[in-house]
Structure 1
C-alpha cells in the first residue's frame, strides 16, 4: 500500500509538471528617475495674458512692409471667444488677413508637432499645412508656459506663405513681456531631453533620456535585465541603430520599451529585448490576422519573424535569442514613419519604405551578432 501511494503521488506530480506551464518571470515595473521640470506659476501667467492687448501683437509696420502698395484701410478688431482673447486684422472691414489668439491649454500639447523656430530670440513652433501639393495654411505658436501659448495665423483671404506670417509673428513676439516668452532652446514643456522628440500624446511623465547601462552576457540574462530596465534595451540597440539609421536618433527609456527618436519626427523606432511579453511564434501564427506579410527568417542563426501592419505604416521584427520561436522572451524592432515636424500633410504617404525595412534588417542582424553569440 505504501508503494502504491508513492506511485500515485509521483504520477500526480508528473501530470502537474506536464499540464501546468511554468510561471512567467515577474520583474519590478520601471519608473522614470530624472526630475521633471517645473512649470511657471499659473496665476501669474493668467494675469499677464489678461493684461495683454492682443491687437498690439499685430504689428502694422509689418503689414506696411507686406501690403504691396495696396492702399485700402485696415483695422484690428479685438474679441473674446470662449473666454479667451483674440484679435484679427481686417482690410476693408471684412477681409481677414492675420489673427492672434490666446490658445486653449488643451491644444498647446500640439506644439510637439511644430518645427522649432527662432523669432528674434523667442522660441516658437511653426506648422505649415499642405493639401494636394499646395500650401493651404500656416500657424506659429509662441509658448508662454507648459499649458498656455499665443498663436499667430494667416486669415482665409491671405497668401499662405509661412515667410509672410513669420514677419508678423516676429514683430508680435517682440512685444510680449520677456518673462512670458522662452529663449531658443528654453524648457517650455514637461519633457526632459530627447523625450521632447517622442511622438506621443503623453506629457513625457513616463519617459527619461536613456542612460548608459551594462549589457550582461548571455541571452537569458540580457532578456531578464531588459525586462527590468528599458535602459538595458536601449544599450542593446544603441550602436546598431545609430550606425544604420544615423546619429540623430537618440534613445529614450519608457515603461516597457526603448524608443529611438529624432528631431524631425520622420521616423520612430521602438526596440526591446525582454523576458516579458509573448514568444515570437505568436506573431508568426497571428491567429486574429492583425498583420500581413509574415515571414520566418534567421538573424545570425537566431530564428525570427518579420511582418507589416495592414496599412503598411509599421514594420516589425521579432527574434528568439533562445533558439525557439515558441519560447517566451524576444528581441524586437519596430519602425514607423511619422508626420514630419512642422508639416501638416496628410496626403503624403507614410508607409515604411523598402530602404528603411532593409535598414531594420541590418540593425537586427548586427544586434544579434553583437550580443547573442554566446551559447544559450
Structure 2
C-alpha cells in the first residue's frame, strides 16, 4: 500500500515536471467607442412615404426630352407590391422604361455597393450592371432613412441602359420630394461612422470605428500584446507603410481583432494585424486542410514568415513571426483582396490579386518589420 502511494506520488511529480505550453494570453475584447448616429423617426418616414404619389416622381418632361422623336404613347401605372408602392412608365402599354419603388433593404448593402452620386443636391447610390463588359442595366437608390429608400431603375425592356438617362429621371423625381425626406450628398444616411462607410461588409457598422492614433510600444512581445488588446495599435503599426506603398486614399478602421485599410472606390481592401492572439505563422504554412495554395516560406528583415493565396486567387496573405520562430504563438499579418468596384455590378468577371499588389504587400511587410520589429529578441 505504501509502495503504491509512493509510485503514484512519483508519477505525479514526473507529470508536473513535463514542460507544458503556457496558456494563451487573455485580453479583454475591444469594442467600438465612438457614438453611433441616430436614425430618423420611423413612423414619420412611413407616413411620408404612404402619402407619396410615386407616379409623380416619373417626370414626363424628361421623357419628352429624351425620347428621340419616338411618337408612341406612354403611361404611368401605379401598383402596390408586398405593401410597397411602385410606379412604372410604360410605352405602348408593355415596354417598361423606368420603374420607381419604395424599398426596404433591411441592411446597408446598397450604400456599400453603390457609387455616391449628386442628384441636384440630393444623395443617391448608383449601380451600373454589366454583363461580359457590356452595360445591361442601371439603378439609383435614394435613401430616406437608415432603413428605407426610393429606388429608380431602368426597365427590363427599355432599349436604353444609359445611367445618364436614369440620372435625368432621378434628379427630376427627387426634386419633388420634401427636403427633410432626402439627404444632402455628404449626409449621414446610415449607421456607419466616418470611413467605416468604405468597409466592404454587410454589417451595419456597429463593430467598426475609424482608427485613432495609438502608441506602438517597443519590443515584439509588447507590440503583439498591445495589438491583441486594441486594434488601433495594429492600425498604427501599419499606417505609414500602407499609405506610402498603396496610397493616401487608404484609411484605417478598427474592428474587434483586426485593422482594415479601406478606400472609397472599393477596388482593394486590406486587413492587417499584429497580435498575440491567433495561431503561429507555421500553422498557415502547414495548412493541413489545404485551404490555401502557393505556400512559400520567406523572411522579412530577418523575421521568418510565410505567404500563400486563396484557392480562387482572390486573396493574398503574409504571416510573419517577430519572435524568430514560425511555431511561436502570435504573428504579424497582412492580407489583400480585390473587390467589386463601387457602382459597377460586373458579376461575371472574377477579381484576382494582381502581381503589382502582391509586390506592394511584400514591400509593406518589409517596411513594417524593419520599422517596428528590428529590436534584438
Q: Same fold, TM exceeding 0.5?
A: yes
Give the match for residue 357 of structure 2.
356
Q: CA deviation at 1:176?
A: 1.0
Q: CA deviation at 1:248?
A: 0.4
The 8 Å contact of residues 285 and 306 in structure 2, kept in 1 or not, is answered as: yes
Q: CA deviation at 1:348?
A: 2.4
CA distance in structure 2 between the partners assigned to 1:47 and 1:303 by the alignment? 62
Asked if 1:258 is matched to 2:245, the reply is no
Give the match for residue 250 of structure 2.
249
CA distance in structure 2 between the partners assigned to 1:102 and 1:181 by the alignment? 13
The 8 Å contact of residues 108 and 148 in structure 1, kept in 2 or not, is answered as: no
Aligned with 1:106: secondary structure? coil
Give the match for residue 149 of structure 1.
149
CA distance in structure 1 between the partners assigned to 2:131 and 2:157 by the alignment? 17
Aligned with 2:181: secondary structure? coil
Q: Which moved more, 1:221-230 or 1:156-165?
A: 156-165
User: Normalization by structure 1: what TM-score?
Assistant: 0.96
CA RMSD of aligned residues (A): 1.7
Q: Which runs of 5+ in 2 are unaligned?
A: none
The 8 Å contact of residues 54 and 100 in structure 1, kept in 2 or not, is answered as: yes
CA distance in structure 2 between the partners assigned to 1:165 and 1:231 by the alignment? 42
- Runs of 4 or more, structure 1, over 6 Å off, are 5-11
What's the CA shift string for 1:90-139, capped at 9, x where partnerless?
11111111010001232653221000000000000000000011100000
What's the CA shift string for 1:247-304, capped at 9, x where partnerless?
0000000000000000000000000000000000000110111100000000000000
Distance 1:213 1:7, change over 3 A: farther
Distance 1:138 1:368, change over 3 A: same
Q: Which runs of 5+ in 1 are unaligned?
A: none
Give the match for residue 38 of structure 2.
38
The 8 Å contact of residues 107 and 202 in structure 2, kept in 1 or not, is answered as: no
Give the match for residue 215 of structure 1.
216
Give the match for residue 333 of structure 2.
332
* Equivalences for residues 91-170 of structure 1 within 5 A: 91-106=91-106, 109-158=109-158, 159-170=160-171
Aligned with 1:203: secondary structure? coil
The 8 Å contact of residues 206 and 255 in structure 1, kept in 2 or not, is answered as: yes
Aligned with 1:179: secondary structure? helix
* Number of equivalent positions: 374
CA distance in structure 2 between the partners assigned to 1:357 and 1:15 by the alignment? 48
The 8 Å contact of residues 108 and 149 in structure 1, kept in 2 or not, is answered as: no
CA distance in structure 2 between the partners assigned to 1:185 and 1:366 by the alignment? 35
User: Normalization by structure 2: what TM-score?
Assistant: 0.96
The 8 Å contact of residues 108 and 190 in structure 2, kept in 1 or not, is answered as: no
Asked if 1:87 is matched to 2:51, the reply is no
CA distance in structure 1 between the partners assigned to 2:287 and 2:83 by the alignment? 51
Q: CA deviation at 1:347?
A: 2.5
The 8 Å contact of residues 25 and 276 in structure 1, kept in 2 or not, is answered as: yes
